[in-house]
Amino acid sequence: MSEAKPGVRPVIPHFSSGPCAKRPGWSLQALTDAALGRSHRSKIGKAKLKRAIDLSREVLQAPADYRIGIVPASDTGAVEMALWSLLGPRPVTMLAWESFGEGWVSDVQKELKLKDVKVLKAPYGELPDLAKVDFATDVVFAWNGTTSGVRVPNADWIKADREGLTICDATSAAFAQKLDWSKLDVVTWSWQKVLGGEAAHGMIALSPRAVARLESHTPAWPLPKIFRMTKGGKLIEGIFKGETINTPSMLCVEDYIVALEWAKSIGGLPALIARSEANAKAVADFNLQKEDFLAVIDGMDMDAAEDIRAPNWTKLDLYCDRVASAVGRLSVRVFGMRENDGLALAHHLGRALQLTNILRDIDEDADIGRLYLPSEELQKAGITSTDPKTVLESPSLWQPCEAVAARALEHFKEADRIMARNPRKVVKAPKIMEEVYRVMLNGMTSRGWSPPRTRVSISPLRLSWIAVQYAII
């Protein structure tokens, strides 16, 4: 049976591969003026690329003497272009407090193999001591950590009379935060972040000091063609006029131009910053906790770092907490529940939902090498293998599945007790989720666990009935 499509679309249903939301009201119709079927070297192609550069300068309020260019490979390519092209003449200070910053450290130490490198690190979600930065060195940092969301408060910590260059990865800051250009020698960003553009296109802005370094310094290592910004000791000016190094997508170029024009129409950079600050205020207003956001990231990392196979109950519970209960802890604050009951509901309902998902998806998970059934229950059933496909073929598979179902049911019952003593209006959303998932759990228990296992789903009629019961106060 095919699953019913949602009846209501999200307010903003369109996302870039960032994944970041596109502007309000976005549609493909906005791209009808794209220079399709034409070379990026054509007159119209160059004009479009120059337009993207000029609008970037205008919206970001970049100084007139900064060169701005479109470069390959998104922000990653732009940062690496700067590192490979500019570093070497001076010692380097690397600031790292999240994954991308760590990546730049690795590039400088392991790929460029620079010897005089100082690394200032901070725990995930915190900033290093900015007072320790030596501006006699070249300094590499991210203005706003893409994965941690932690940003520098401003550029006051950067010396105006610095001797070295400042290289700033601003991909999650540009168009959302005020950049102090006087303190930044290299600024990089991409299209697929704040403005929700499409991927693979990077931007680099160079101060006169950075240009002087490029024209006076020859790196000790070979430069790939996509990193070369000089020829014969002089800046390749065409790069900064729309004559791109590689072949860009003109459809993506058009999408970026449209986003920039929209930004202008709503009031430019001040309006964009106001939108960003309003989003941040919502987090503050609901007292959403940093550790819960970090827990969600840690949960995704558990899946990304390893193909989970037969974890013990303790590890499985931690996984459920991170990928489900942590989301619940964020949600119940928005719902307006009392602190203690909200946290307890998130604990139990999150685990109940995730354990139900695990049972529902055992075949799909096995196809990608994952097995979330707990090792203790597999051992009780006499199943010694941890190979997902082998486990699912075992005639005693029903035993660990029933054990997980029983654990989920216990959590559902505890969630019910908590919701029963709270006002209906603050628990209607979790109640609807609970009812839907209990129907699925009951369906799987009735179906059994022997192959072939038909995927259990909820009928549109049943879903509508649940919504009518609980959605209307």
Beta-carbon count within 10 A of 342 CB: 23
- The CATH number of 287-471 is 1.10.600.10
Rounded to two decimals, the pTM is 0.77
How far apart (Å, rounded) are the C-alpha atoms in residues 193 and 216? 33
447: closest CA among 408, 409, 402?
402
Looking at residue 181, its pLDDT comes to: 98
Per-residue pLDDT, 1: 40
Answer yes or no: same fold for 28-265 and 287-471.
no
- Specify burial of residue 457 (Cβ count, 10 A radius: 0-12, 13-18, 19+): middle
CA 77, distance to chain mean position in Å, is 18
Quickly list H helices, 287-397: 290-305, 313-320, 326-335, 339-360, 362-367, 375-380, 388-392
d(CA 146, CA 192): 12
- The pLDDT of residue 347: 98
Contact 443, 411 (CB under 8 A): no
Judge whether 358 and 324 are in contact, CB under 8 Å: no
> What is the C-alpha separation between 205 and 180, in angstroms, rounded?
13
For the chain, 473 residues long, the average pLDDT of each consecutive 10-residue run is 60 84 91 95 97 98 98 96 98 93 94 96 92 98 88 97 98 96 98 94 98 97 96 97 96 97 98 94 88 88 84 97 96 94 97 97 94 97 95 96 98 97 94 94 96 89 85 64
* Cβ atoms of 322 and 299 closer than 8 Å: yes
Question: What span, in angstroms and rounded, lies between the C-alpha atoms of 296 and 50?
Answer: 40
Task: Reply yes or no: is the peptide bond before residue 19 cis, omega within 30 of 0.
Answer: yes
Contact 252, 198 (CB under 8 A): yes
Residue 352 near residue 292, CB atoms below 8 Å: no
Bridge-based pairing of strands 67-72 and 201-206 is antiparallel
Angstrom distance (rounded) from CA 276 to CA 26 = 18
Interior/surface letters 69-87, b for 16+ CB within 10 angstroms, e for the rest: bbbbbbbbbbbbbbbbbbb
The domain ranges of the chain are 28-265, 287-471
Provide the pLDDT for residue 7.
Answer: 64
pLDDT at 473: 56
| Residue 321 and residue 330 in contact, taking contact as beta carbons nearer than 8 Å | no
The CATH class of 28-265 is alpha beta
